A and B are shown apart, each in its own frame.
Chain A
């Protein structure tokens, strides 16, 4: 496969995964903000995704509008979808036709000049759900129509790379809030909010009932083997697809398999006690650093062929 194509496939998935995550975050924050506007303000989200841009309002609709439509926000949904489509457009012969049509239709949906009015007229949750439906269709399309092989592996590398970064970011974001309060009720509300944002709330209830204990939440978000949005699960999948590529001679080892194996073990075998000892924040920072190195190593492989 062309190195440029591999690169575009990775970024196509990274953008789609990021868009899906941001939409979940917006939805959850909108609900929580209706309950407790002080606890769930919009500024941390905007700061994280559009850092450096002065945007001072706590009006929920304006904030969602900024996060979805504003082109000056590099991570607005409209920008993310444009970039995903641009990547998809240049690799059309490598992705299934259905997948391309799905992204192209999403692009036309989100760039329709009448859409911003809908946000002002409709229930914002329905509005965000309508956008997120394209992501769900995209996941389904990819699963059903994309043949397993190099393209699929590279796309999954992008998907799980972005997911690991996103889970780390979401958690770090909440930790800042949690650190501000000593009220245990408020803390548990924040933890619950984290679970909702990454989509693990239902599973948590099934496992631990409605009792929000930090150690259970951390174990689930970081170490659960069956929860598709846990760090362990995502890194495990990343590792699997990287190894498929290495086996197929599509990726030079370049230490990537070692770095990934090490990260996987770290997450798997670190006890909650030792996480607490070093501080959750430091633990997350270490994971993010490892992921950066892995991402950099993958880049080196395909950039080494470019000029």
Chain B
């Protein structure tokens, strides 16, 4: 039976690229197979699939705990059952673009912590680098194995109404979400039996194997001890930490499990201390070593930075990569690509205004309803002002804060994030999405798992895809 209802109220947003329909409301070719399948699926059946997906997330423990009045409640990261599809040619450009970008960013980080040619040549102002809170003086002149700083990156892309992909931000510290990329695919296999092979979708399942291989190669030991350092069970990404450790077959450690002795890092085992060679850490720089950074941190390991500087342990990602994904530095990434690689950027940046420049600040004040203002060191969708939906009072207050320290803020046009069909109450509706592919850099280059995490703003009309603010995710299919 044909489910006519399903597509009946799909109202495309104005001036917005829709992933499924072209501007004439004809289904784009890559979406044909899945839409044909959905047309023949009753709403009731879709509800059942949604219910099955929820159950699977719950029973597999793909959850995070929200604590309220000492009671922990298990929550799942909302999952939309309709996949997002990317074609092979689109993917090829994204892949080349990210590789180019990560290569340049990595060279930039090395340069900043060593000779600083890019400052000396006048490409990037020195005060911008030194005033960045994520610039770590402790990393100056530290020799990093194989000159790799940003081993794991999650570059956030959006598709604008011109159909092109733009880079929203480069997450080069401890990007999360990769376990959802893996888990979403597993769920798709369960809820769409037979559909995936028809569509010839590229597999994502070897991400943990590639990651382990690249981590292992960082050590000069024949059989290095690679561990994953987690802040512990109360962290909202703890599920991801356990999954990656389990799938790589490595030990999941907490700060208290590690100890530094004579500039070597050891883990405390039942038969004594065992040396640790590579640490994939999922704690922020600030908490890494109470002797050098935040002294009250109990999540890190005292003395680990000294061991790192001696080359006795490898920390992944390297401390100090935050200098390169700072929102004020972001503006200079196209210049970096030209400077270090002598290439034109393959992926576009979004037009960004630096509020420290008086004329740009003035422009932003005049056009604030079309702009979003962000803190340069912010993340997770917090602390930003969306000009089109803020009240006059909110705008006034925010601008006051901005003017106290304008160099901490940037502004960007409010973007037209592309929309993709989502199953909302049994029928399809367009919702805004982004894309976070995961890139792993190692001794033999950069590898990017096809697809990545598509995040979706499930609230109607919302542009915020962050999980902390009503966002969800979708499986991402890259078609051969």
Contacts and interface: CB of A to CB of B under 8 A. Distances in A.
Partners in one complex: yes
Contacts of B256: 4, 306-307
Given A89-B242, A250-B271, A2 B233 contact: no
B270 A1 contact: yes
A162 B58 CA distance: 29
Interface in A190-207: none
A93 B245 contact: yes
Contact of A100 (B61, B251, B272): B61
Task: Name which of A86, A93, A111 has the most chain B CB atoms within 10 A of its CB.
Answer: A93
Contacts of A4: 254, 256-257, 268
Contacts of A101: 59-61
B158 interface: no
Contacts of B254: 4
B61 A93 contact: no
Interface string B223-261: 000000000110000100010011001111110110100
Contact of B269 (A1, A71, A89, A92): A1
B249 A2 contact: no
Contacts of A90: 232-233, 242, 252
A2 B267 contact: yes
B258 to A, nearest CB: 10
Contact of A108 (B71, B74, B270, B271): B74
Given A4-B257, A90-B252, A251 B59 contact: no
A41 interface: no
Contact of B270 (A71, A82, A104, A250): A250
A151 to B, nearest CB: 11
A245 B270 CA distance: 10
Given A92-B242, A93-B245, A108-B74, A305 B61 contact: no
Contacts of A306: 256, 268
A6 interface: yes
B242 A2 contact: no
A301 interface: yes
A306 B273 CA distance: 11
B257 A2 contact: yes
A6 B242 contact: no
A66 interface: no
The secondary structure that dominates the B interface is mixed
Contacts of A270: none
Most interface-central of A2, A82, A89 (chain B CB within 10 A): A2
A13 to B, nearest CB: 16
B15 to A, nearest CB: 44
A150 interface: yes
B242 A302 contact: no
Interface residues of B, number: 29
B282 to A, nearest CB: 14
Nearest to A90: B233
Most central of B61, B71, B72, B242 by chain A CB within 10 Å: B61
Contacts of B232: 90
B225 to A, nearest CB: 12
Contacts of A251: 270
Contacts of A182: none
Nearest to A3: B268
B59 A105 contact: yes
Contact of B253 (A2, A108, A245): A2
Contacts of B61: 89, 92, 100-101, 104
B266 to A, nearest CB: 10
B269 A305 contact: yes
B58 A108 contact: yes
Given A104-B59, A306-B256, A89 B233 contact: yes
A114 interface: no
A249 interface: yes
Interface string A147-177: 0001000000000000000000000000000
B251 A93 contact: yes
A4 B259 CA distance: 13
A93 B272 CA distance: 20
B59 A108 contact: yes
A92 B251 CA distance: 10
A302 B246 CA distance: 23
Nearest to B62: A104
Contact of B268 (A89, A100, A245, A305): A305
Interface string B42-61: 00000000000000001111
Interface string B403-438: 000000000000000000000000000000000000
B249 A93 contact: yes
A54 to B, nearest CB: 21
B252 A93 contact: yes
A100 B245 CA distance: 15
B238 to A, nearest CB: 8
Given A100-B61, A108-B58, A108-B74, A92 B246 contact: yes
A276 to B, nearest CB: 42
Contact of A93 (B60, B242, B267): B242
Contacts of B273: 305
A99 B88 CA distance: 40
Contacts of A6: 270
B72 to A, nearest CB: 8
Nearest to B266: A305
B269 A2 contact: yes
A2 B59 contact: no
Contacts of B233: 86, 89-90
Nearest to A93: B246
A113 to B, nearest CB: 10
Max chain B C-beta neighbours (<10 A), residue from A108, A301, A302: A108
A249 B271 contact: yes
B270 A302 contact: yes
A215 to B, nearest CB: 42
Contacts of A1: 269-271
B75 to A, nearest CB: 12
Contacts of B249: 93
Contacts of A249: 271
Given A100-B61, A105-B59, A3 B251 contact: no
Contacts of B259: 307
A251 B269 CA distance: 10
Interface string A96-139: 00001100110010010000000000000000000000000000
Contact of A3 (B245, B246, B269): B269
Contacts of A93: 242, 245-246, 249-252
Interface centre among B60, B254, B271 (most CB of A within 10 A): B271
Q: Which of A71, A92, A245 has the most CB of B within 10 A?
A: A92
Given A1-B270, A2-B251, 12 more contacts: A2-B269, A3-B257, A6-B270, A89-B233, A89-B238, A89-B242, A92-B252, A101-B60, A104-B59, A105-B59, A108-B58, A249-B271
5 contacts: A2-B269, A4-B256, A89-B238, A101-B60, A104-B61
- The 8 A-B residue pairs whose C-beta atoms are closest, nearest first, are A305-B268, A93-B246, A250-B270, A104-B61, A249-B271, A92-B242, A6-B270, A1-B270
